[in-house]
Amino acid sequence: MSASAPLLIETLTEINIADLLDSVGLSRFNGTPLRRLFHPAARRFALTAHEFDSRVGDEGLAQGSEWLMGRMTSGLATSGLEHVPAQGPVVVLANHPGMTDTVALFTSLASRRDLRVIAADRPFLRALPNVARQLILLPENEGGHLAVMRGAARHLREGGALLTFPAGEIEPDPATFGPQRAISSLQNWSDSFALFARLVPEVRFVPALVSNVISPHAQKHPFTLLRRTARNREKLAAAMQVALPRYRDLVARVAFGRASDAGAVSARELAVSISAQMRDLILADGSAWRAGQ
């Protein structure tokens, strides 16, 4: 264990305690003795997160992510990998159901060791230094967004792969909340990714759907009824899934759509095309899941 490890683990633990308190609607009690109740679960996840980060540093992003998937899920099923270019600039556009969605994508995209990810700048990610080196952090201040786009475009010009989440927020897991909610969330996708087509004309775009990462059993637990809004109930269920191993019996799924060239189409036309592909992936995911039941 490195000299900095204890401090990083303590930082992660503190962040996790704050998140757990927030998930149950008790943020105002952070800093009170009540927080001790959440310390064991918070520290367990902090140790897991730190081990993940260490493995990313030693073995690489995909290998570290594969280890974490083994701890947090019952497996991963990937389809459509043949659509992901083996080399050259590519932007992977994914939905964002949360939980293990990002590490599922990292694992699936193991062939692209040059993968970088646009991610919101969060203290938790800062406490994972090896993972953070693979990220292009997006500040909350919109004034910093242009610099992020320039950095991402530079990576693409060098032939790299880029992963981004156009919704910019957590979206419904189609396997848990149904395909229609997932399709509706596509309306919230930003088309700013089309800017990369102007900055890097040879770039290709690949849609990716992540599903079955949110436990339906956790979402239906009576404890979630303590929260008034659907959003807060879902947040509490997600915290339960992190803290309790019995909610991790999920085989996550990642499906990639065909690669698209921007060509001479407008940003809006490109966004519509990608959205249509995502809709098809969502419907196909639902059909395959029902057929397997």
What is the structure's pLDDT at 293?
A: 47
Angle ∠(239,58,154) on CA atoms, nearest 5 = 85
pLDDT at 291 over 60: no
pLDDT at 192 over 60: yes
**Cα–Cα distance between 116 and 134 in angstroms, integer?**
5
User: What domains appear along the chain, each with residue ranges and CATH number?
Assistant: 1-59 (no CATH), 61-213+250-291 (3.40.1130.10)
What is the structure's pLDDT at 113?
A: 97
What is the structure's pLDDT at 292?
A: 46
Paired tokens of 247: 């909610």
What is the structure's pLDDT at 208?
A: 99
pLDDT by residue (tens digit) across 115-173?
999 999 999 999 999 999 999 999 887 778 889 999 999 999 999 999 999 999 999 99
Average pLDDT over residues 170-197: 95
pLDDT at 69 over 80: yes
What is the structure's pLDDT at 288?
A: 62
What is the model's pTM? 0.93
pLDDT band for position 35 (50/70/90)? very high
Would you put residue 232 in left (φ > 0), alpha (ψ -120 to 50) or beta? alpha
What is the structure's pLDDT at 251?
A: 97
3, 166, 196: which is closest to 89 by C-alpha? 196
**Cα–Cα distance between 79 and 100 in angstroms, integer?**
17
What is the structure's pLDDT at 143?
A: 73
Average pLDDT over residues 40-62: 98
pLDDT by residue (tens digit) across 198-252?
999 999 999 999 999 999 999 999 999 989 999 999 999 999 999 999 999 999 9
Of residues 290 and 192, more confidence is placed in 192
Paired tokens of 15: 């962040």
**Cα–Cα distance between 125 and 53 in angstroms, integer?**
10
pLDDT at 267 over 50: yes
Paired tokens of 3: 């000299």
